[in-house]
Structure 1
Amino acid sequence: MELRTLRYFVAVAEELHFGRAAARLHMSQPPLSRAIKQLETDVGAVLLLRSAAGVTLTPAGTALLAEARALLEQADQARVRVATAAGAPVLTVGILGDGADPAANRLADAYRRQHPDVEVRVRDTDLTDPTCGLRAGLVDVALTRGPFDQTGLTVQELRADPVGAVLRADDPLAGRDRLTLADLAGRRWFRFPDGTDPVWQAYWHGGEPREGPVVRAVQECLQAVLWNGTVGLMPLGHRPPGELVVLPLADLAPSPVVVAWKDAGPLVRSFARLAVGAYRA
């Protein structure tokens, strides 16, 4: 069994969908299907059951998934050890949002234990680039949130955070239990600079063009609400200053917390695996 074929199998087993797995692997679906069929021939067992509803693992597939993950991790660790022997490896991580998230702290601890000789450099980014510099080649992997344009990137969801509207505590709407986007029609709204990722911008603007102050950082968003009485959005798990409140929005999809990368070297793949464990613990 080739490591590349095992990576293909793990992607399909995790996505439970050939189309999504092909997109994640940046390949077309036919060669992926052929590779999985060849793997099933090699191991002498059906690994995946295909139907119109999607893909399910057989008992043999479940057994292979555990073994494949272990083999791939061992291979990545071997590559890292070789890189370490050749000179201290470096991983540059882009982080957007709340650096105090307990899950991010768990990830840092896990990665340090797994790769004590790797130098991790962190690039903290503002709200104008949700990919944290991935497209520009400034970072190797990004710990960020969506939605954003995923073209050319591999993105794995770690968690989904409900989002609410940020208001001043004395706002006429602040006493409600929850709001809808229609309740905020006509209000001034903090917004991002022109040229910001349009998918990202549309989500945080509530799906409509907005008028209001331009912001680039979380603190600027909060200050825009505090000083100007504008409206904005933020994850419900975040706590604003006492002068502000966050009310759940009933008709806005949660914002996913994701790990994203462009080129999947062993350090990046290990980071992504450990991120899944840290954020889903």
Structure 2
Amino acid sequence: METRELRYFVAVAEELHFGRAAQRLGIAQPPLSRAIHRLERRLGATLLERTSRSVALTEAGRVLLREARAALHAVDAAERRTRRAAASPGGIVLATKAGANGELLAKLLDAYAAEPDAVPVEVLLSGIGEQERVLRDGRADVALLHRPFDDTAGFDIEDLGTEGQVVLLPAGHPLAARPHVRMAEVADLPGLPVPRWPNLDGTYPDGPGPEVRDHTQLTQLIALGRASAVAPESCRSHLHTDVATVPVLDAPPVTTVIAWPPHSRSKAVADLVRTAVRV
């Protein structure tokens, strides 16, 4: 299979409409339809169920969509990493969520810089959920991810630590004086809706909560009494006194991991991982 065929198929599988897929790809619809037919004949499998009104994925199509996305990510990542290596030989890029892992990140970078074979490390601060994507597409060589929020499938990982979660409230809120709370108590606080983070395409899901893009916006809205949120307890280290935190007993624990592509042969990445585990 050619990468062009895989890109054609992914466009149709995601749009479930040949016209929209052709427009997205910048080609006419007839050659797109012919390309999908050729791909099905070569594979000996029906990938799409077509009617006059709809297009749906078959089970074989769902498998190819998953595998094609992974393959295209790998191709794009190979190109990006090659270009980065040519532009900045020897250095590595570490992706992490902005506002998270501040203490761990500082310790890691200091400890790694003291290693005799250390190379320059560029820190790529990402938005919510973005560090996984930039690692997959080759913009980063290694990343700090957080289970259960980030998908670590397909990466090699090492666990670095697990922590509980706290609810972030305006200082002075009645619950702020409690030693702990439960998820049911903070799931729908009157006047303090859960904020809405952007989807991958930049749009926001529907809901009553305010739209936020980063932790600075989030904490300011909480301090103003316009929102609340549940977050890993390590966030306490960079909060101001106008935001209170209370442990949430039954919130799922959050595990920070360091992740890298399984095919990586970079000594610098391996050294950074070993340093992360040590510190």
Does TM, scored on the shorter chain, surpass 0.5?
Answer: yes
Unaligned runs of 5+ in 2: 1-87
- CA displacement at 1:158 relative to structure 2: 0.1
The residue correspondences of 1:251-266 to structure 2 (distance < 5 A) are 251-262=250-261, 263-265=263-265, 266=267
Aligned to 1:110: 111
**Structure 1 position 227 matched with structure 2 position 224:** yes
The answer to whether the Cα contact below 8 Å between 1:167 and 1:174 also exists between their aligned partners in 2 is: yes
CA gap 1:103/1:145 in 2 versus in 1, 3 angstroms: same
Instruction: Describe how 1:114-263 pairs up with structure 2 within 5 A.
Output: 114-116=115-117, 118-131=119-132, 133-147=134-148, 148-187=150-189, 188-195=193-200, 211-239=208-236, 240-262=239-261, 263=263
Q: Which letter does structure 1 place at the counterpart of 2:268? A: L
TM-score, with structure 2 as normaliser = 0.58
Residue 150 and residue 117 in structure 1: after superposition, are their counterparts in 2 closer, same or farther (change >3 A)?
Answer: closer
Q: In 1, Cα distance between the equivalents of 2:101 and 2:234?
A: 12
The structure-2 alpha-carbon separation of the partners of 1:153 and 1:257, relative to structure 1 and needing over 3 Å to count, comes to: same
Distance 1:129 1:250, change over 3 A: same
Alignment-mate amino acid for residue 251 of structure 1: D
Unpaired segments of 5 or more residues in structure 1? 1-86, 197-208
Amino acid aligned to 2:272: F
Aligned CA RMSD, in angstroms, stands at 2.6
Point out the structure with max Rg over C-alpha.
Answer: 2
Relative distance call for 1:253 and 1:163 in structure 2 (3 A) is same
Q: How does 1:10-89 map to 2 (within 5 A)?
A: 88-89=89-90
Does structure 2 retain, via aligned residues, the 8 Å contact 1:167–1:245?
Answer: yes
The alignment partner of 2:136 has SS state of: coil
CA–CA separation in structure 1 for the residues paired with 2:116 and 2:173: 49
Q: Distance in 2 between matches of 1:210 and 1:171?
A: 23
What do the CA deviations read for 1:201-228 (whole angstroms, capped 9, x no partner)?
Answer: xxxxxxxx96411222111211221234
Could you tell me how far apart the structure 1 residues matched to 2:223 and 2:96 are? Answer: 26
Query: Aligned partner of 1:254: which letter?
Result: P
Match of 2:122, SS?
A: strand
Provide the rounded CA distance (Å) in 1 between the counterparts of 2:222 and 2:249: 21
Query: How far apart, CA to CA, are the structure 2 residues paired with 1:117 and 1:247?
Result: 40
2:184 and 2:207 mapped to 1: Cα distance? 13
Instruction: State the distance in 1 between where 2:264 and 2:89 align.
Output: 19
State the TM-score, normalized to the length of structure 1: 0.58
Deviation at 1:168, TM superposition (A): 0.5
Judge conservation of contact 1:128–1:192 (CA < 8 Å) in 2.
no
The answer to whether residue 273 in structure 2 is matched with residue 268 in structure 1 is no
Letter in 2 for 1:213: P
Spell out, residue by residue over 1:203-256, the C-alpha distance to the aligned partner (whole angstroms, 9 max, x if none): xxxxxx964112221112112212343110222233321111010000012211
Q: Secondary structure at the match of 1:237?
A: helix
